[in-house]
Structure 1
Amino acid sequence: MWQREKYVTLLFLTAYIFPTVFCGLMYDDFAGGFIWASCIRLFLIQQATFCVNSLAHWVGDQPFASKLSPRNCWFVALITWGEGYHNFHHEFPVDYRNGIRWFQWDPTKWFIWLCEKVNLAWDLKRFPENEILKGQFQQIERQLELQRQEISWGTPVDQLPAWSFGEYTENVKNGRCLLVVDGVVHNVEEFVGDHPGGEKYLLEHIGKDATKLFHGGGIHAHSNAAENLLSTMRIARIVDSDYRRS
C-alpha cells in the first residue's frame, strides 16, 4: 500500500513539517508551530493512544470476561476515542466495534458504519448478540459467586447433625434456647432480646415446633430477611420418622 511504502516521509510531513509551516505562514510563529502544533501535540496524542495499553487494562470493569486484564471504562474511551471499551475488544476481537451500545463513545465505530452505508467498507463483522449476552450473563454469575462466598448463609441443612425430636426437647430441658422451624433446630439464644415481636412471644415457643407460626399461622408471615437471619442459627436437623411439622 502506498501509505505504508511512504510511511516515514508521511510521518515527518504530517507530524512536523506541515504544522510548523502552517503556523509560520498563518500566524508568523514557526517556533510555536514546531513546539506546540508538532512536538507537544504529538506527545499528547501518543499518550492518549497508549492509554489503551495502560489505563484500559487498569481502570473500569470487566462485563464480558475476567481471565485477562482488559477493562471497559467510558472515561478511557473519551481519551482514546472509543478504545476504552477494551474488555469487549479482547473478548470479541473479530467485531469491528469497541462500544457496542449506541450511547457508548466510539467514533471509529460510527465512522466505519458510515463507510459501510456508502459502500466504502463492507462485510463488517459483528459477533452474535446472543453470545455477547451469554458472556455478560456468565460474568455476572462469576461476580455473584465471588460475592456469595463472602456471605454467611448458615450451615447447609444436609450438613447438620441429625437429632431426634427427643434430643431436641432434652436439650431445651437442659437450658438451651432452641426452636424448630421446617424440621431444623435453631439456636435463638442470642436473638431472643432482639426479636421484633418481643422476647416473651419467642420464649413461649421454645422447645416446640414453630413451623406454622413462623410462616404465618394466621398471625404474621415472616419476611425473606427473617428467613435469611434464621438460616444463620441452624444447629441440627430433625430425622424422626414419625415427626410431623406443625
Structure 2
Amino acid sequence: MIRCLRHRLHHRFTDDPIQDPYAATRGLLFSHMGWIFYRPKYDKMSLIDRDDLDNDPVVRFQHKHFTPLALFFGLILPTLMGMSWRDPLGAFIYGGLVARILVWHCTFCVNSLAHWDGLQPYSDENTSKGNLLVAMLTCGEGNHNFVSLFNTIRFDSSHERNVLQHHAFPQDFRAGPSAMNWDPSKWVIIVLHRLSLIQGLRRAREEDIQSAAEWMRRQREKIIKEKGDQVHIHIHPPHTDFEDSYYTSDNTDVPRKFDIWNHKALHEYVNSKVGRCVILLDGYAIDVTSYLGEHPGGASLLRNYSIRVGNDLVDSSSAFHGGMNNHSRAAKRRVRQLRVAKVEL
C-alpha cells in the first residue's frame, strides 16, 4: 500500500524536488536508491486518494502481513525449494538474496533510468522517458515513453504511434497500445480480464494519444528546421498555430463559442440532471460527469470541487494548475473539450 501511495504522489508532483518521493531532478543516484535513505515527511500525501486501497481486502491483508509474507516468499520458500535438489544454501543465496537484489534494482531503474535517458514521443513536460533496456528488465514498466522492439532508438516520425507514455496517460493500464509493443504485463492483465478475474480496465482515448503524438512531432520538426539538420522527415505546412488547435475541443482551427452564464443559469444546469458534476475552471463551467470514471486522481477529487447549489462557488483553477497536480497537455486539452459555458463571477 505504501509503495502505491508513494507512486501516486510521484505522478501527482513529478520532478518536484520536495513533493516527488524520487524526483529525477535531484540526480540519478537519488532517484535510483538515494531516496531510500531519507525519511521525509510528504506534506501532500493527504491529497492522494486511497479509498480503493483501503477497501480492497487483498491489499489490506498484504499490507498488514507484509513482513512475514516478504520473508517467506523472498527467502524461506526458495531455500525450501533448494532442499529438493540438496542445495538449500545455493537456493538461499541465488534464489533468495541475489534474486531480491536484482528485482529491487530493476524496479529502481524505473524511477532513475526511465527518467534519465530515452525517448519522449508524447510529452516533454517532465523527465519521463521510454527506455527499452528498462522495459525489457521490468516486463514493460520502464516504458515511461514506450519503445517498440521493432523501432529504432531515434527521434523520427516512423514510430510515433507505437509508443505510449506512462506519465502522459497514467490512467491507461497499458505501457504500449499496439500488439507490437513489448509489454508482457499488458497481456497478463488482458488475460485476467478475459477470465473475469479483474474488471474496470481503463484506456486512454485514441484521440488524445494521437493529438499528443502530433504535438511532439511538430515540436521535433520545429527543432529540426531551426537547426537545419538534413533529416528526411516530411513537414506538413502549418495552416495555423498548432498549440491553439491542440487545445480546442475538436482539434480544429475554429475556436468554440460559449454562452455566458450567471450563477442562476449555472445552478439550473447543475440541477437539470441528478448526479451531474460540474467544476469551475479558468472562468468556464466544466461538465466532468462523463469523465469521473476516467480521472486518474479518482472521482472523489472532482466531486470535492464540484458546484453545489446553496454553497459558495469553488474555483478549481489553482488546484488544476499545480496546486493538486501538474496536469499534462492532454489533460488540459480534455478539460477544454468538456467546457459547456463561460461563467461570469
Interval containing the TM-score (normalised by the shorter chain): 0.5 to 0.7
Q: State yes or no: 1:26 paired with 2:103.
A: no
Amino acid at match of 1:128: R
Distance 2:177 2:167 in 1: 13
Amino acid at match of 1:146: I
Give 2:217's aligned residue: 140
1:33 to partner: Cα distance: 1.6
Give 1:213's aligned residue: none
Distance 1:4 1:107 in 2: 26
Distance 2:228 2:140 in 1: 37
Q: State yes or no: 1:59 paired with 2:117.
A: yes
1:84 to partner: Cα distance: 2.0
1:101 to partner: Cα distance: 1.2
> 5+ unaligned residues in a row in structure 2: which ranges?
1-59, 146-164, 230-345
Amino acid at match of 1:101: S
Distance 1:77 1:145 in 2: 29
Give 2:196's aligned residue: 119
Distance 2:208 2:86 in 1: 57
Give 2:64's aligned residue: 5
> 5+ unaligned residues in a row in structure 1: which ranges?
153-246
1:99 to partner: Cα distance: 1.6
Aligned with 1:90: secondary structure? coil
8 A contact 1:82–1:108 mirrored in 2: yes
Q: State yes or no: 1:90 paired with 2:148.
A: no
Q: State the superposition RMSD in angstroms.
A: 1.4
8 A contact 1:74–1:104 mirrored in 2: no
Q: Deviations over 1:17-46 (max 9, x none)?
A: 1111211x2122222122111101111111
1:151 to partner: Cα distance: 2.3
1:96 to partner: Cα distance: 0.7
Give 1:70's aligned residue: 128
How is 1:103-118 mapped onto 2 (pairs within 5 angstroms)?
A: 103-118=180-195
Q: Following superposition, which runs of at least 4 residues in structure 1 exceed 6 angstroms of deviation?
A: none
Give 2:176's aligned residue: 99
Distance 1:50 1:101 in 2: 26
Amino acid at match of 2:228: I
Amino acid at match of 2:121: P
| Count of residues in Structure 1 that have an aligned counterpart in Structure 2 | 151
Amino acid at match of 1:48: C
Q: Which protein is richer in helix relative to its size?
A: 1
Distance 1:27 1:112 in 2: 34
Distance 2:226 2:65 in 1: 58
Distance 1:38 1:123 in 2: 35
Aligned with 2:217: secondary structure? helix
Amino acid at match of 1:90: H
